[in-house]
């Protein structure tokens, strides 16, 4: 499977990359984020929010699993870390097929519910501020967006 890789040297650079991706997104797009604690998943989500012209500050939803923000498109931010054991379906489809863009931290924990068309992003910590971001587009739409993003 073709994938793309970029390296960032600061949180701002990661946000900038996410914001560029956000500009190309449309309703129904789903982005999954994987990476260890502190890798930068929420930082990436902040960048997506900026790129969608969301004014509110995105915070890690520790006690809420799903948060919604209003922008050029709504952004549904899920952090499913706390679903580890339950594997419960919280009506994810309504978000994935909704009016906005969905971003899911720790997405593998709900993999049976994920749509097959999605942007799979993995962030790896290489140093204090250095990160490797791998993007795997699944499905024609995501592939097209990536070609545009990386041209
Ligand atoms: N290149 C970089 N990209 C992203 N974050 C970076 C980078 N360099 C440093 N950081 C810092 O690393 C931390 C990443 O934290 P963040 O909350 O985004 O991680 P997370 O993957 O969401 O963690 P968690 O699993 O706890 O949700 C932030 O403090 C951020 O400022
Ligand atoms: Mg986080």
Fold exhibited by the domain 4-149: Rossmann fold (3.40.50)
R_g over Cα of the chain: 14
- Residues with CB under 5 Å of ion ligand 2 are 41-42, 60
Q: What is the pTM of this model?
A: 0.97
Tell me 58's DSSP state.
P
Each of the 151 residues of the chain gets a pLDDT tens digit; together they read 789 999 999 999 999 999 999 999 999 999 999 999 999 999 999 999 999 999 999 988 667 899 999 999 999 999 999 888 777 888 999 999 999 999 999 999 999 999 999 999 999 999 999 999 999 999 999 999 999 999 9
For ligand 1, atom 17, the nearest C-alpha belongs to: 42
Helix ranges (DSSP H) in the chain:
11-23, 41-51, 92-96, 140-149
Domain ranges of the chain: 4-149
Backbone angles phi, psi at 32, to 5 degrees: -105, 140
User: What's the token pair of residue 96?
Assistant: 């994935």
């Amino acid at each position: 499977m073709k994938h793309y890789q970029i390296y960032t040297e600061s949180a701002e650079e990661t946000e900038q990359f996410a914001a560029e991706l956000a500009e190309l997104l449309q309703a129904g797009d789903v982005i999954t984020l994987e990476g260890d604690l502190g890798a930068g998943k929420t930082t990436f989500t902040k960048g997506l929010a900026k790129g969608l012209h969301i004014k509110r500050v995105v915070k890690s939803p520790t006690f809420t699993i799903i948060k919604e923000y209003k922008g050029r498109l709504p952004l549904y931010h899920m952090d499913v870390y706390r679903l580890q054991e339950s594997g419960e379906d919280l009506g994810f489809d309504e978000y994935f097929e909704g009016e906005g863009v969905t971003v899911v931290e720790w997405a593998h924990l709900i993999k049976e519910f994920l749509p097959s068309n999605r942007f799979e992003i993995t962030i790896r910590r290489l140093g204090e501020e250095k990160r490797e971001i791998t993007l795997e587009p699944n499905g024609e739409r995501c592939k097209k967006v990536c070609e545009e993003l990386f041209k």
